[in-house]
């Protein structure tokens, strides 16, 4: 398994994070949540009053925040300018704004370069929306997780307080549209990725199936 890179893509609520951490833990690999990096940039810009409806304003500040992200699947960590941002980047405000920030080419160029540096020689599970298509197109294992809209919304509602399944379903539909239609690195399944529908599977079953695919491919 030395040098292995597992590229895990898919929309929010498909189970990427839990499955990626579970696979990394099972194989003794590092874990990288690229979505957390985009959320961290978004949170930093919201804190500083950057107009997120203006792509040029976002681009002008894209290189300013200093990000530090951990790769331990058992102890996720995200810091921005030295401040712990693990909880703040998961707020509904950040979730609503992250697609606008991640659509800006300057932000994507910066973070893709940092992601590739972290990935380095491999031994890592990487989750996101453009891992198999852009970040590591030569990854030996590419998996695209999906799930029904209802299942995804139900999972996200269970994670968040003060929301409903219908609200989350609408929010996810909006974000899916934004992420899949942006000009820079849109959310799409790599041609050589294996699609795995997690709608009817629990976490243990998803991890087991991914481990089987890794053994088969790598």
Question: Angle at which helices 34-47 and 105-119 pack, to 10 degrees?
Answer: 140
Any idea what the CATH number is for the domain that residue 43 is in? 3.40.50.300
Strands 124-128 and 30-33: parallel
Please count the CA atoms within 13 angstroms of the CA of 26 that sit on its side-chain side: 19
Binding-site positions for ATP read 10-18
For residue 9 the two structure tokens come to 């893509």
Binding-site positions read 10-18
- Please check whether residue 17 is in contact with residue 129, taking contact to mean a CB–CB distance below 8 angstroms: no
Q: In what order do the strands lie in the sheet with 83-84?
A: 67-69, 78-80, 83-84
Structural domain of residue 145, as residue ranges? 5-217
Q: Quick one: pLDDT at residue 141? A: 97
Strands 78-80 and 67-69: antiparallel
**Based on the structure, what is the number of domains in the chain?**
1
Largest CA distance in the chain: 48
pLDDT in tens, the chain (218 residues): 569 999 999 988 888 999 999 999 999 999 999 999 999 999 999 999 999 999 999 999 999 999 999 999 999 999 999 999 999 999 989 988 999 999 999 999 999 999 999 999 999 999 999 999 999 999 999 999 999 989 988 888 887 777 888 888 888 888 888 888 888 888 889 999 999 999 999 999 999 999 999 999 87
Q: Quick one: pLDDT at residue 1? A: 57
């Amino acid at each position: 398994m030395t040098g292995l890179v597992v590229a895990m893509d898919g929309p929010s609520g498909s189970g990427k994070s839990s499955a990626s951490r579970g696979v990394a833990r099972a194989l003794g690999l590092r874990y990288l949540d690229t979505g957390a990096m985009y959320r961290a940039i978004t949170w930093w810009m919201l804190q500083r009053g950057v107009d997120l409806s203006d792509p040029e304003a976002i681009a002008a500040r894209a290189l300013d925040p200093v990000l530090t992200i951990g790769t331990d699947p058992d102890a996720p960590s995200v810091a921005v300018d030295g401040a712990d941002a693990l909880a703040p980047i998961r707020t509904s405000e950040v979730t609503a704004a992250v697609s606008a920030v991640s659509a800006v080419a300057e932000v994507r160029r910066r973070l893709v370069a940092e992601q590739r540096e972290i990935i380095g020689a491999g031994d890592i599970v990487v989750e996101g929306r453009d891992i198999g298509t852009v970040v590591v197109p030569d990854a030996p294992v590419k998996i695209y997780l999906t799930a029904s809209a209802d299942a995804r919304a139900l999972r996200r509602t269970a994670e968040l307080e003060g929301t409903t399944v219908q609200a989350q379903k609408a929010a996810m539909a909006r974000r899916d549209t934004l992420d899949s239609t942006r000009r820079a690195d849109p959310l799409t399944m790599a041609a050589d990725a294996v699609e795995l529908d997690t709608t009817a599977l629990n976490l243990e079953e998803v991890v087991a199936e991914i481990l089987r695919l890794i053994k088969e491919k790598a």
